[in-house]
Structure 1
Amino acid sequence: MKYGFLIALSLIVTAAPAAVRTWTEAATGKKIEATFVSATGQTVTVTVAGGRSFTLERARLSPEDQAFVQQQLTTAAAPPAATANRKAKDRFEDVKKLTAEDIPVSGLAHPALAAVDAAVVQFMVEKGVPAVTFALSKKGEVVHDRAFGWADAGLKTPLQPGVKMRLASLTKPVVKAAIQTLVAAGKLKPEDRVFELLELAQYKEAQGCDPRWSKVTLQQLLDHQGGWDREAAGDLTTRSTAIMALFRLKTAEIEPMHVVRYGLTLPLDFDPGAKESYCNYGYILLARVVEKISGQPFIGYVQSSVGQAAKASSFSLSRTDARDRQPDEIWYCYHPEYPQEEVPLTFRTEARDGAGVLACTAADYCRFLETYWISGQVRAPGQRASYAFNGSHPGVTAVCAQRADGLNYTALANRREGAPADWNGDLRKLIDTALETVAVQVK
């Protein structure tokens, strides 16, 4: 292939990456298979198989290519306004100003933990959060299981314990535990390579993919060392527009495997194992490994293995649209708690299952923490250590902890301010500060 219409690389404004497509020079009909990377008013940068980048003059491209580039630039220009809009919806401005006296509280209460309840209520008042579930356990028993706020967006019906809430990234320790059950059963090894396990070579998107893909191991995925850098390159699991274009899908048709296959079209950001970078994509891959090796759907295996071992029966998959959720799952302060069909998010929740889509009760997550370490390893009775983990998703602020004093807690809120989320640290600090003075009274 002759790249006669390529010009020197230049400094440009980056837009969201898209899928591999055919680019055509209008005058000669010459073609190139490449992935869109970024564009300016005059140029577009693309990446060919193997990771080599070229810059093309937009004026020399076919009308179809020029229209595609303009669409990408329009999308790239939208995030500031779109982000502001999503943040406003996350903040749920129409929730009335709350006072501590307004907020109903119900459920099993340990007499020593009134200060913790007050801390949760303080968080709700300060942030305008209309619903929180909180549970605390010790020595294998849930001793405090509380529901704060309301079960409906109209703030009419008091919330009751036992409601399920989306876990956001608190899903990841459960995925780790599911993988570890398969390792313990001799069905997986940490050094197994995911490209081979999932037989990814069968997909056309793998043709000419980054050769480093073949080196990615399960342990590297567990440790966020697989080769994807969310900070530098963005979160590829949220690129619904590119995924829909690649597979010619509607938003509601995107499945986790579409996200996996889309990732095959992109170069890795670093050599697997070279560094650690928090990665949602790796956990979608791990959920596929669970399905492949167990022969069950991801949620089915979680329920029959991790859930059964922890006596936590409420694990389920959340849904983007409120109308599709199970009746015992709560509402969230963000779209789509609304009557329209189209989902105004940058991603499809269901397609990111292993990264953050599990839902369960706060009490059941405490039972999980009693049974497994946040690392996914089985926890022996009486073992103590200090670990904590956070989760954030549109409409969700989630924190959990395994404390050195033997207490475990889970707090799930149905609102966040936006991304990046700062509320996790605020909520954790309030809970831990309250526990400092009363933890010794929890027997």
Structure 2
Amino acid sequence: MLSRRQFLAAGAGVLPAVVLGATAGRALASPTAISAMVEASGVAPAALAGFDNVLRSYVAERGISCAQLAITKNGRLVLARGYRYAAGGTAVPAVSPTSLFRIASLSKHVTAAAVLRLAQDGLLGLDAPVAPLLGLSTAADPRLANVTVRRLLQHTGGWDRDVSGDYLYLDHTIASTLGVPLPISQDHIIQYASRRPLDFAPGTRYAYSNYGYLLLGRIVEKVSGRSYESYVNEKLLAPVGVTRMRLGRTLRAEAAPTEVVYESQYTSRTVTDPSGAVVPTPYGGFSMANRGPGGGWLASAVDLARFARVFDAAGPVLNATSIAGMFAKPEIGVTESGSWYGAGWWVRQVTGHLNTWHDGSLPGTYTYLARLQNGFTYAALFNRREETGSLDFHVLSPQINAEIGKVTTWPTTDLFSNYL
């Protein structure tokens, strides 16, 4: 997850930035050499070869073993690629355009869309207070009564992870405080958080909150009367033909078919059992189940590009009012750079269009999705995130933006039918 400052920098240009790129001072290999090092699957039309070369170079230079890129133009899928780079003969499973990746916080716009759909159907008010809706006590902080659904959507609910920590990463602390064994559940996280004061008055400022989106997932379940995942599948994904997306699991042994392998230099104490064992951080250092609504989905870049069309115009999932609600300015206004956090999206007004974007980050995962002017949308997924500064997750967007300007004729075919 990018910091707020990094997000603002990402949105400072005409096109918001995807945060990837070449290491400063490192000479690029020739396109021929890159092609020999990186195995690519899927379709990259000749007119869009520049985008393909950017991703190939990035992957090869940094030794990222699994990646994807999907691009749509005016709602048509025009590029769909999976990339595999196996350095030093390392065995890496093939990556197709439909291989599944943990998408981390790109899950948030899915949850936000579910909430807006409930409101659209007259089942939920966006200004409804959250405490009575979920049966939360306000004894620890009476200001909890002022937390509304809308404030959860826009990260103005009152929780600041820079002050009190991210409750979704405090498994050991929560288990110890509550006197319960690992693994803890979402119920334990809510119980722990409800005993603590808020970090600021709701509605007064922005602070990114994974916990807020956990609560939104519980609201979806409470109001719909069904599991969060089943509601999203029926009301959001199935109507637009998204069939592969699902909630991820924590352990490697529980991985979904076609799910990539995640890489990280770090190890952590397991949160899946009380043994105290040290495990690779992506596989037991945090709980995927607890991340569900705010960071737990699996998807391919093609799936994300397909679902992104939901926000282009009124359709079977969201009407025009709901779409406007997704991108509405919060009560605190816009940032100094003119962007704002809507509902699961960062937003910037450009001439005649709203650019919207978000990234996602977990140990072993980095993802980015952007909807830009001129009908251009892209999703880029990786099985590593920046941990030591070597990946430079902050400079790819100038390369992507430059390639947009080089395309003289966009393909007119639509590849979505290839990836049902």
Q: TM-score, normalised by structure 2?
A: 0.73
Q: 2:67 aligns with which of 118, 121, 132?
A: 132
User: CA 1:192–1:424 in 2, change beyond 3 Å: closer, same or farther?
Assistant: farther
Deviation at 1:317, TM superposition (A): 0.9
Distance in 1 of aligned mates of 2:54 and 2:243: 28
Residues 54-203 of structure 1 aligned to structure 2 (within 5 Å):
100=34, 101-149=36-84, 154-201=90-137
User: CA 1:113–1:186 in 2, change beyond 3 Å: closer, same or farther?
Assistant: same
Q: 1:322 aligns with which of 252, 257, 281?
A: 252
Deviation at 1:306, TM superposition (A): 1.3
Deviation at 1:150, TM superposition (A): 5.4
User: CA 1:277–1:157 in 2, change beyond 3 Å: closer, same or farther?
Assistant: closer
Matching residue's letter, 2:220: V
- Are positions 1:409 and 2:381 aligned together? no
User: CA 1:404–1:439 in 2, change beyond 3 Å: closer, same or farther?
Assistant: farther
Deviation at 1:436, TM superposition (A): 2.4
Question: Deviations for 1:145-193, whole angstroms, at most 9, x for unmatched residues?
Answer: 1100159993354322211111111111111101000000000111111
Matching residue's letter, 1:410: A
Distance in 2 of aligned mates of 1:330 and 1:106: 14
In structure 2, the residue matched to 1:232 is 163
User: CA 1:143–1:199 in 2, change beyond 3 Å: closer, same or farther?
Assistant: same
Distance in 1 of aligned mates of 2:136 and 2:389: 32
Question: Deviations for 1:205-262, whole angstroms, at most 9, x for unmatched residues?
Answer: x6x32111121000000110000112233222211111211344443x3222222221
Partner secondary structure for residue 53 of structure 2:
helix
Judge conservation of contact 1:192–1:218 (CA < 8 Å) in 2. yes
User: CA 1:433–1:255 in 2, change beyond 3 Å: closer, same or farther?
Assistant: farther
Partner secondary structure for residue 373 of structure 2:
coil
- Are positions 1:256 and 2:186 aligned together? yes
Judge conservation of contact 1:256–1:353 (CA < 8 Å) in 2. no
In structure 2, the residue matched to 1:296 is 226
Matching residue's letter, 1:216: V
Judge conservation of contact 1:145–1:363 (CA < 8 Å) in 2. yes
User: CA 1:331–1:103 in 2, change beyond 3 Å: closer, same or farther?
Assistant: same
Matching residue's letter, 1:113: L
In structure 2, the residue matched to 1:280 is 210
Distance in 2 of aligned mates of 1:336 and 1:320: 14
Distance in 1 of aligned mates of 2:173 and 2:408: 49
Deviation at 1:320, TM superposition (A): 1.8
Distance in 2 of aligned mates of 1:316 and 1:134: 19
Question: Deviations for 1:104-129, whole angstroms, at most 9, x for unmatched residues?
Answer: 00102233111001101111123221
In structure 1, the residue matched to 2:7 is none
Matching residue's letter, 2:298: A
Structure 2 gaps of 5+ residues are 1-28, 327-351, 413-420
Report the more deviating stretch, 145-154 or 172-181: 145-154
Judge conservation of contact 1:151–1:159 (CA < 8 Å) in 2. no
Partner secondary structure for residue 308 of structure 2:
helix
Report the more deviating stretch, 219-228 or 341-350: 341-350
Judge conservation of contact 2:62–2:390 (CA < 8 Å) in 1. no
User: CA 1:440–1:275 in 2, change beyond 3 Å: closer, same or farther?
Assistant: farther
Question: Deviations for 1:39-77, whole angstroms, at most 9, x for unmatched residues?
Answer: xxxxxxxxxxxxxxxxxxxxxxxxxxxxxxxxxxxxxxx
Judge conservation of contact 1:167–1:398 (CA < 8 Å) in 2. yes
User: CA 1:151–1:439 in 2, change beyond 3 Å: closer, same or farther?
Assistant: farther
Distance in 2 of aligned mates of 1:395 and 1:295: 34
Partner secondary structure for residue 381 of structure 2:
strand
Judge conservation of contact 1:176–1:222 (CA < 8 Å) in 2. yes
Partner secondary structure for residue 193 of structure 2:
helix
Deviation at 1:336, TM superposition (A): 7.8
Q: TM-score, normalised by structure 1?
A: 0.69
Judge conservation of contact 2:59–2:85 (CA < 8 Å) in 1. no
User: CA 1:423–1:255 in 2, change beyond 3 Å: closer, same or farther?
Assistant: farther
Partner secondary structure for residue 261 of structure 1:
helix
Distance in 2 of aligned mates of 1:240 and 1:284: 15
Distance in 2 of aligned mates of 1:213 and 1:362: 37
Matching residue's letter, 2:382: A
Matching residue's letter, 1:242: T
- Are positions 1:242 and 2:173 aligned together? yes
Which of 1 and 2 has greater Rg? 1
Distance in 1 of aligned mates of 2:109 and 2:122: 20
Structure with the larger RCO, 1 or 2 (CA within 8 Å, 6+ apart):
2
Matching residue's letter, 2:100: K
User: CA 1:146–1:194 in 2, change beyond 3 Å: closer, same or farther?
Assistant: same
User: CA 1:297–1:241 in 2, change beyond 3 Å: closer, same or farther?
Assistant: same
Matching residue's letter, 2:245: F
Distance in 1 of aligned mates of 2:121 and 2:306: 22
Of all paired residues, the percent bearing the same amino acid is: 30
Matching residue's letter, 2:356: Y
Deviation at 1:416, TM superposition (A): 0.9
